[in-house]
Amino acid sequence: MQKRPWIGTSWKMNKTLAEADRFVATLKASDYTHCEEAQLFVIPPFTALHRVADALNETDIIVGAQNAHWKDAGAWTGEISPVQVKDCGASLVEIGHSERREHFGETDETVGLKVAAAVRHGMTALVCIGDTREEYESGRTAEALARQTEAAVAHVDWSRPAQVLIAYEPVWSIGEGGTPADPDFANEQHVLVKRLLRERLGAALPVLYGGSVNPGNAVELARQAEIDGLFIGRSAWQAEGYLGIVTDVIAALRT
Ligand SMILES: O=C(CO)[C@H](O)COP(=O)(O)O
């Protein structure tokens, strides 16, 4: 059976409202507002979340938040709760991106709490895990992924319906100066993560790849047996770039 990949982008700390509007307008004018061959998702910054979710409401494109706290409300100045992002129209929450782990004190424990909270509110949790360059170069990728995978699912109440996606994003592959992971290497890490999940939960979860995905490597990555989708940064920040990758991947998976 042909796979239906997740293909999405986080805008990180980019785009004014006018720029968000332009991206969404291009998306809405495309052939992909209702797409059976891929699950599209867009993760704007909080400032544009309500507006983008509203604008894409009638489409099949999922809109997510880049983070959400584990508490529903309270004295947590500067934080945004899962109740609030859901209220803005988000149905997905990205959790544990390496930039948050590195710069904002996100830990395996807070990631686990946030995943459980997002799921408790009926949203999909998209959890980023990944090895640092130091872990990669010293052969400790598997150890890092095992630790982060276990923490990501540790607090979820699995007796209830829960949608959790994992994004394998090697830290050394992300952003300017990042090296895209070799597709075979990425696939092997996805095999490992899925094995851990099967042992832990009795079933694997979808695992997406992220880190310097671009028009030149997207198809080969998406073709890997255990890569269930692509999580794209810079190459998808212009709607035309995003739609170009979506078009190429869908066409390649048909053949
Ligand atoms: O989060 C990411 C995808 O949205 C990830 O950090 C990859 O970013 P990129 O290297 O700019 O594609």
Q: Is 137 within the bounds of a domain?
A: yes
* Helix (H/G/I), strand (E/B), else coil: 200: helix
For ligand 1, the distance from its centroid to the CA atom of residue 177, given in whole angstroms, is: 12
- Listed in sequence order, the residues at least 6 apart from 132 whose beta carbon sits closer than 8 Å to its beta carbon are 98, 144, 171, 172
Instruction: Specify the CATH number for the domain of residue 215.
Output: 3.20.20.70
Residue 35 lies in a domain: yes
Asked whether residue 130 is domain-assigned, the answer is: yes
Query: Tens digit of pLDDT for each residue in 143-180?
Result: 999 999 999 999 999 999 999 999 999 999 999 999 99
Check pocket membership of 94 for ligand 1, CB cut-off 6 A: no
Instruction: Please state the separation of Cα 26 from the chain's center in Å.
Output: 21
Domain total of the chain: 1
49: in domain: yes
Half-sphere exposure of 108 (CA within 13 A, CB side): 13
Q: Is residue 1 part of a domain?
A: no
> pTM for the whole thing?
0.97
pLDDT at 1 over 80: no
**Residue 196 domain-assigned (yes or no):** yes
**CB neighbours (10 Å) of residue 176?**
6
Contact by Cβ (8 Å): 108, 147: yes
Beta-bridge partner residues of 231: 8, 210
- What distances in angstroms separate CA 59 from CA 39, 41, 42, 112, one per listed residue? 11, 11, 12, 30
Which tokens sit at 53? Answer: 């979710």
Contact (Cβ atoms closer than 8 angstroms) between residue 15 and residue 44: yes
As a whole number, the mean pLDDT across the chain is 97
- The residue segments making up the domain with residue 104 are 6-254
Which of 14, 15, 92, 231 gets mutated to test ligand 1 (max ligand atoms within 8 A of its CB)? 231
pLDDT at 132: 98
Asked whether 157 and 120 are in contact (CB, 8 A), the reply is yes
Q: Is 97 tagged catalytic?
A: yes
**Structure tokens that stand for 9 in this block:** 């982008």
> Which atom of ligand 1 is least distant from the CA of 236?
12
Answer for the pair 119, 163: CB distance below 8 angstroms, yes or no: yes
Task: Pinpoint the alpha helices (H) of 121-171.
Answer: 133-137, 141-153
Residue 63 counted as domain residue: yes
Interface predicted TM-score (ipTM) of this complex, two decimals: 0.98
- Residue 238 placed within a domain: yes
